[in-house]
Amino acid sequence: MNDARLERVLALIDAANAKDPNIDVSEGARQPRELVYGRRMSAWLDQLSPGPSALLQIAARGQHIRRWEVPRDSYPATREGYLKWRSYLYGFHGEHVAALMVQVGYEDAAVQRARTIIQKRGLKTDPEVQTVEDVACLVFLEHYFENFAVTQDTDKLIAIVQKTWKKMSDRGHELALTLPLPLPEPLQGIVAQALEAG
């Protein structure tokens, strides 16, 4: 029964993310962006944590559920605006995943646990929360960092790389250092500088 519920809720998360009007054109495919993101989260989770719990699988897949409905520009283009946006999204994603879990029959304790993981409560102290954070950082570094980097100045980019690194566990660091990042030479230098300074 647990496996059936897990498969159903993952399918519902995918169905929700398949409605994303934004298209990811990487890797030769044209698919809804958040659908691609969720599947990338699941793929990295399998590498980072063999045999993850059902709730960890749900939290990873649902990290960005329906994110396009709350665009970044709906908040001020300031550091404070960014933090408010991220804080709102933690609750937004947790609420939508929780509703799908209830729909397929998960008990309240399991629903609340998944919300805790999605909302990143207990980073550095809760192993499952830390795992999802590592997964999110690895997905970002592998698939999104290069395009993101061209929108930032060097000093800001160094600070962002340092903050990302500090949020990760030692195991996350090990895997990040194995990534065959297709970074241009200037970006490789920036990453090296950030990690050396951090």
pLDDT tens digits for range 76-123: 999 899 999 999 999 999 999 999 999 999 999 999 999 999 999 999
Least confident segment among 15-19, 63-67, 78-82, 142-146: 142-146
Cα 24 to Cα 90: distance, rounded to the nearest angstrom: 23
What pLDDT is recorded for position 1?
Answer: 43
Neighbour count for residue 184 (Cβ, 10 Å) = 11
Cα 61 to Cα 181: distance, rounded to the nearest angstrom: 23
Cα 143 to Cα 25: distance, rounded to the nearest angstrom: 12
Q: Which fold has domain 2-197?
A: Hypothetical protein af1432 (1.10.3210)
Residue whose structure tokens are 């990143």? 120
User: In DSSP terms, which residues pair with 41 in a beta bridge?
Assistant: none
Instruction: Say which amino acid occupies 108.
Output: D
Is residue 198's pLDDT more than 60?
no
Selection from 94, 88, 102 nearest residue 62 by Cα: 94
Ranges of each domain in the chain:
2-197
Residues 122/129, Cβ–Cβ less than 8 Å: yes
Host H or E run for residue 101: helix 79-103
